[in-house]
Every structure is written in structure tokens, then in C-alpha cells.
Structure 1
Amino acid sequence: MLTESALRDFLLVNLGVQFVVFVGAACIPGWRTLRMSYVDIAWPWGLVALGVLTLAMSDRSPLAIAVAVVFLVMGGRMGIAALALWRHGELDHELPRYRFQRKRWAKATLGSERLDLVAEILVQAVSNVTVMAVPAALVIGIDGAGMSAVAAAGMVLWAVSWVLESVADLQKLRFVRSMSTTNSRGHCDVGLWNYSRHPNYFFQWMQWNAIIVLCLPVLRRAFDEFTPVAAIGACLGLFALSAIMYWCLVFYTGAVPAEYYSAQKRPGYRDYQARTNRFMPGFRRENASAGDTVG
């Protein structure tokens, strides 16, 4: 997409901004403390930066404003939550999903724990520079993008998914607080968690799918206004967003790493795995046994 002059300035500015955010918020504290959890601060605030750049560098068409709002709200919500965790000392120890990463480093290490850690952090920085930036690049590179029926449907899908992700997180928070008051340990299977073991991850994934729908009208215009190489790159990047986020939320830093430790320390969790879908919501399987695992 750098071959398109209308996109080049944004892509290069975003590269510099994301570098500053990730180095300052994650790489430096991670190098000093050997904790990767600081990336949970850098990544969402990198999304906020994408929203700010979209407003600053676009013509502020209705579609550009919509994309900017999505980035600002999604990133701001997760970023504020991450800062709250940091303030309450939750980042003073490594989060379980990042402890799991060290098991992967043992199979493919760069020879130093610090180098492995910084490399993992920069992988997430690269996502904010490449596929995550495609929706912003499209509305910045194409002027006068209005809200069509398809774009409006994408915005509705995003709003509903954002609300349901927030509901799932609130249900989990209430459950954790109830467990702490009774000094007990269990697994959350209330509300949306009765239909999916990770409803918050599922509805976050649906938000990225909604962004793809939101950008479909402007993607069509890209094949008229961009060079063929840039248009094809934008198309591949936009649709890769769904696949990459699914892989990340299920296998990379999401469900699989989280469940590795939950199955070891939470009573009844293996039975919960057998009866409840891992990602896609669905009805529970009452005839499943604890030896089974529902994907």
C-alpha cells in the first residue's frame, strides 16, 4: 500500500507513532521487569492513536469519523482497563497468557529472555502498523466516503458486539468479586459465559468483523482510485484482519493460553470445557464428560 501516494504519509506517520507507543509503554518496562504484560497497555493505546490519526489526516467524511470512533472507543475501553490493572498492581506479576508464551520461547528462542520478550511485544506493534491500520488507511486515502446501508449495518454490528463484550466482562468481574468475598475458587459460567468459555473474546472478534463490513463500500472505491497493487493490498489486509484476530484471540494470546492454567487450578473447569463451546456461543452439552473438550 506504500505504492499509493495518498496512503504513504499516513502509513509512515503511523509507523512512527506506534513505535513510540510500544517502546515507551511496553518494550522499556518489559525489558526492565521481564514482564510482557505491559503490552496490554501499549496495544489498545496504539488503537487510540489510529483513531486520532484517522481524524487528523482524513477529510472527516461520515465513514472516516465512524472508523475513527470505532478505534477510539475500542482502544480507549481496553486501554483504560489496562491502566486500572497497572494502578492496582496487577502488572506487578506476569499475566497467565504471557507466562504461557515462555513455553513457546523454549521451542524457538532468540537466545535471551529479554530479546524473546521484546520480539513478542513488537509482533503486536507490527499488527498496529499493518492489518489494523488498513481500515484507517482506506478512509484516509479515499475522500468523501459517506455512510451507505452496508456501512450502517457494519456500525450497528460493531455497537451490538461492543455492548455484549462489555456485558461479558462485567459478568466476569462480578463473578470474580463474589469469589473473592467467599475466598473460594471456581470458574465463571454465568450469563454469556454459559454459552461460550470466552464470550468477551468472541464479541471482540465480531467487532473486527464489523469493521470489515463498515469498510466494504470504500474498499470497492479503492479499485477505482488506487493503483491495482495498492487496492489488492488493501483488500487482502482488510480480510486478513478477521483471520488474524481469530487466531490471536483463540490460539496466540487468548483462549488456549488462558485455559492452560485454568484447567490446572480451577475445580470443575475440565467439565466446563467439555460442556461449553470454547469460542463460538452455543447451547451447553449436558451429556458431555469431563474427558472431552469442546472447541
Structure 2
Amino acid sequence: MIVQGYDVTFTGLFISVGICLSLVMSAAWAIAIRSGKSGWVDAIWSFAVGGAGIAMALVPLSGWQQSPTRPVIVALLAAIWSLRLGWHIVARTRHGGDDPRYAQLRGEWGRDFPRRLFLFLQVQAGAALLLSLSIFAAARNPISQLQIGDWLGVAILVAAILGEGLADHQLARFRQDPANREKVCDVGLWGLSRHPNYFFEWFGWLAYVAIALDLTGAYPWGWVALSGPIFMYWLLVHVSGIPPLEAHMLKSRGEKFRAYQARVNAFWLGPSRNIPPQTSKGRVS
């Protein structure tokens, strides 16, 4: 159906959501600097992405044709993902110290840390806006009846949440054992990927691609959904995920982590490699 009687345009919605994200991440910066716990940044970012996605899915737009049920389903998927990840990070931050990734950046940036963190978080706000486009594209798919792609998208997100939850649980149990204090977690999913939680976080964004894509060409906007997994991969693998965390792990675990790097893929799930300890050279896959 075509929504009528609303003056909100896509451009207006996009700009409004972008401004809100910038303001939210500015507040996250202030909280991180004041508290000394930069982990709050990721919790706030997770909630912000969910809120932006819900707005992009549900705000009626002038002249846009859309399904009566798909926007609600997509908004629920975004909310469930956001709440699970956000509350997990909240619990971790409340009971722990500074996030090791941001502690690594704090050491690298020195006295310039506050300024550079602010700019870094504005980049994160921009990335969140681009991620919300994936949710937008899925929600605005105009096919009235739910299709196989919709159910596939739901299944993908459920699998991603379960996989990420399992990875988090396995890591938490490993850390609870005092005997593992100086060891590198390589049990369960952590023997298939050095960052299985990141892999499943990325995998969940394929849900919106499955819902949005229309291979007949009737809905060109569907291809915009690819922005979600593309930018999430960029963030996790090249920006705020793997690089600072692995730099920290190399400092704290040294050769043990280098051997782990040589055996186990950085991101993609796969079997570990049988490499004798003396030949481990810290190769990153």
C-alpha cells in the first residue's frame, strides 16, 4: 500500500536520524571520559543503532509503498539484536574495568585521547547511519505478502543471536576458571575463529539482505541492504573490533596469542591449523 497524508521524506528522515546519532555518540563520549570506562560507548552505540533502525523501519514516509507487516517484523529484529548486545555490554562494563580495545587506543593516543575519541565516535555515528539503511531497505520492501526471504531473514538473525550468545558464554566460562588466567581461550567456537562473537554479529546483518533483496529488479532499493554486512565487516575487522583487541592481546599474552593467531582464523569460522609451536610466526588469516 502507499502511505499518504505524511510530509516526512526519506531525506528528512535520513538527516534527522543522522543528527540524533551524532548527538547520542557525543553523549557517549562524555560518559566514557567522565567514568573512565569506554565500554559504555559500545553499549550506547548498540542501543543507538537499534533505535535508528526502528525509526527507519516504522516512520511513515510520503509516497512510499510498503507492506503492512514487514516493517514491524524488521523493527522487532533490530530491537532484539540491539537489546541483547547492548545489555550484554552493559553487564560486562559494570563488572569490569576499561574495555581492552579502548585501553589500547588510550595508550596509543596519549594526551590526545579525548579529542581523538570524540572524532572516532562521530565516525561510529556515521557507520550506524549507514547500517540503518540496511534495516530501512528491508522494512520498505513493498511486496505485500511475506515471502521466503522474510522467514529466512528471521532464521538468520535468530541463528546469529544464538551463535553470538554461545560464544560469549564460552568465553565467560573460560575466564571464570582461575587456571586459565594467563591462557588464550580456544575452546568451542573460539577454536574455529579468534572472534566468533564478531563473526555472528556480522552474520546477523545478512538477515536484512535476505528480507530486502528482490532479484526480479522490481525493488532496486533492496540492494541497499548490502550496506549492513559490508559496513559491519569493515567496523569489526578493520576499525574498532579486531585491530585494537588483538594489539592488546599480543601485549598481554605474547607468544601464546601469536601461536593462537597462527592456528585459528581471525574472523571466518573454520578448522584450526596444526602448526608446531616453534613454527608459529603470528600469521593473521
- Band of TM-score, shorter chain: 0.7 to 0.9
Range with bigger deviation, 187-196 or 139-148? 139-148
The equivalent of 2:161 in structure 1 is: 162
Change over 3 Å in CA distance of 1:193–1:174 after alignment to 2: same
Change over 3 Å in CA distance of 1:275–1:55 after alignment to 2: closer
Amino acid at match of 1:238: A
The equivalent of 2:51 in structure 1 is: 49
Say if 2:272 is the partner of 1:270. no
The equivalent of 1:260 in structure 2 is: 247
The equivalent of 1:94 in structure 2 is: 98
Structure-1 separation of matches of 2:204 and 2:138: 18
Q: How far off is 1:174 after superposition?
A: 0.8
- Computed over aligned residues only, the root mean square deviation of the Cα atoms, in angstroms, reads 2.9
Amino acid at match of 1:10: L
Change over 3 Å in CA distance of 1:86–1:103 after alignment to 2: closer
1:72-221 equivalence runs, <5 A: 72-88=79-95, 90=96, 93-102=97-106, 105=109, 112-129=112-129, 131-138=130-137, 141=140, 145-179=144-178, 182=179, 184-217=181-214, 220-221=217-218
Change over 3 Å in CA distance of 1:104–1:144 after alignment to 2: farther
Structure-1 separation of matches of 2:271 and 2:93: 36
Q: How far off is 1:185 after superposition?
A: 1.8
1:32-47 equivalence runs, <5 A: 32=34, 36-47=38-49
Amino acid at match of 1:265: S
Q: Unmatched 5+ residue regions in structure 1?
A: 224-230
> Any idea what SS the aligned residue of 1:268 has?
helix
Range with bigger deviation, 50-59 or 117-126? 50-59
Structure-1 separation of matches of 2:248 and 2:216: 42
> Any idea what SS the aligned residue of 2:275 has?
coil
Change over 3 Å in CA distance of 1:269–1:151 after alignment to 2: same
Q: Could you tell me whether the CA contact under 8 Å between 1:51 and 1:70 is conserved in 2?
A: no
Structure-2 separation of matches of 1:169 and 1:287: 26
> Any idea what SS the aligned residue of 2:204 has?
helix
More helix by share: 1
Q: Could you tell me whether the CA contact under 8 Å between 1:7 and 1:140 is conserved in 2?
A: no
Range with bigger deviation, 138-147 or 95-104? 138-147
Amino acid at match of 2:166: V
One of 68, 71, 80 as aligned partner of 1:61: 68
Change over 3 Å in CA distance of 1:242–1:219 after alignment to 2: farther
Q: Could you tell me whether the CA contact under 8 Å between 1:142 and 1:222 is conserved in 2?
A: yes
The equivalent of 2:3 in structure 1 is: none
Change over 3 Å in CA distance of 1:55–1:205 after alignment to 2: closer
Q: Could you tell me whether the CA contact under 8 Å between 1:17 and 1:49 is conserved in 2?
A: no
Q: Could you tell me whether the CA contact under 8 Å between 1:195 and 1:282 is conserved in 2?
A: yes
| Structure 1 length-normalised TM | 0.79
Amino acid at match of 2:125: A
Q: Could you tell me whether the CA contact under 8 Å between 1:158 and 1:207 is conserved in 2?
A: yes
Change over 3 Å in CA distance of 1:281–1:69 after alignment to 2: same
The equivalent of 1:228 in structure 2 is: none
1:12-23 equivalence runs, <5 A: 12-23=15-26
The equivalent of 1:10 in structure 2 is: 13
The equivalent of 2:30 in structure 1 is: 28
Query: Could you give the per-residue CA deviations for residues 35-80 of structure 1, whole angstroms, max 9, x where no partner exists?
Result: 6433212211112212442564257733212221221011101111
Structure-2 separation of matches of 1:238 and 1:10: 17
Q: Could you tell me whether the CA contact under 8 Å between 2:199 and 2:267 is conserved in 1?
A: yes
Amino acid at match of 2:91: A
Q: Unmatched 5+ residue regions in structure 2?
A: 1-6, 61-65
